Amino acid sequence: MRRGCSPTPLKLSNEPDGDWNMLIAPPDYAVLVKTVRVEAKRRSVALPKIYGPGTSTLAALRDYLREPNVALSILDNIDVLSVHGWDNPNKRNRFLDLDALFADLRNLGRAPELAVTEYGLARPEPADTSDRMNVKTRSPENVANTPYFASISARDLMRFYAKGIGTVIHWEFHDQSWGKASFGLLDEKGNERPIYRTMREISEYLAIARPQRIDGTTAAESFVARRTGHDDLWSVNSSRDPMDVVFTDRTKAVGAPSTKLLPCRGQEGKAGLTLPPWSVVSSPIARP
């Protein structure tokens, strides 16, 4: 800040739940955030947005907010509720934890903006315990170097947006030479992985189109981005086989027509899209 930089946003800790390099009890973190705000006001310092607490997983964030009084103190002194959206290969699905977190927040009477400040897949197929399927390792045959990994990473990214997450930051951009993992969009030599092109396409769309929101559909791998003028359908095929996304007319209980998206394989002559294996495809669609 003394050199004219204006950092935004600001995190006061990284994974304070003790999963990595520090352990800050929730009551202590609540005092920390409040004290920073009081001291900044005393010194007439304009703070950037404070993101926190930045726990290692969604399950850890639920534990961090378990005590209502402490949780309210934290929520009332941060600008954006942040969490790391890593998968838990040996634990419950992270999207179930996200749904449970939203229920916790409703019970607390709060609806904060929520950001995933580290996102990645460590082991996309938990049942496969081979080194190839472990992105925490680094080798030419690692799953991180495949179009399959790119497609499921994009699918889960869109799932986060469809759940109402405002910001998702992929970890990481470039594998460092001293590292051991393969999380980067670029490998340690700077070569683009398939995931780089996929994430770039989605990021460019979000930056240019600025959709109001992204909704999930009745198809687990299809999403609708709502924006002025028309909507855009984003479909992900995480299979080695081509996939058809078929449009069929359905009727709601109240009689209003709607569009239901059904993914199926091997059906020709249907209105819709055919996705190549391990691909992400977007297309404008008319509103029902």
Q: Residue 2 domain-assigned? A: no
- Are 135 and 273 part of one and the same domain? no
- Are 134 and 246 part of one and the same domain? no
Identify whether the C-beta of residue 29 lies closer than 8 Å to the C-beta of residue 63. no
Q: Residue 117 domain-assigned? A: yes
Q: Which helix (H) or strand (E) holds 244?
A: strand 243-251
Q: Which of 243, 236, 246 is nearest to 280 (CA)?
A: 236
- Are 236 and 146 part of one and the same domain? no
Domain end point (choices 180, 212, 244): 212
- Are 69 and 136 part of one and the same domain? yes
Average pLDDT along the chain:
88
Residue with tokens 């600001």: 10
> For the chain, how many structural domains are there in total?
2
Q: Residue 112 domain-assigned? A: yes
- Could you read off the pLDDT of 10-58 as tens digits, one per residue? 899 999 999 888 899 999 999 999 999 999 999 999 899 999 999 999 9
pLDDT tens for each residue of the chain, 288 residues long: 566 666 678 899 999 999 888 899 999 999 999 999 999 999 999 899 999 999 999 999 999 999 999 999 999 999 999 999 999 888 889 999 999 999 999 999 999 999 999 999 999 998 999 999 999 999 889 999 999 999 999 999 999 999 999 999 999 999 999 999 999 999 999 999 999 999 999 999 999 999 999 999 888 889 999 988 788 999 999 999 998 887 665 433 333 344 555 565 544 445 577 899 999 999 887 765
Q: What global pTM score does this model have?
A: 0.89
- Could you read off the pLDDT of 234-245 as tens digits, one per residue? 999 999 999 888
DSSP state of 133: G
Q: Residue 96 domain-assigned? A: yes
Domain end point (choices 212, 236, 267): 212
Q: Which of 215, 265, 205, 210 is nearest to 241 (CA)?
A: 265
53: containing domain? 10-212
- Are 106 and 208 part of one and the same domain? yes
- Are 236 and 99 part of one and the same domain? no
CATH number of the domain within which 76 lies: 3.20.20.80
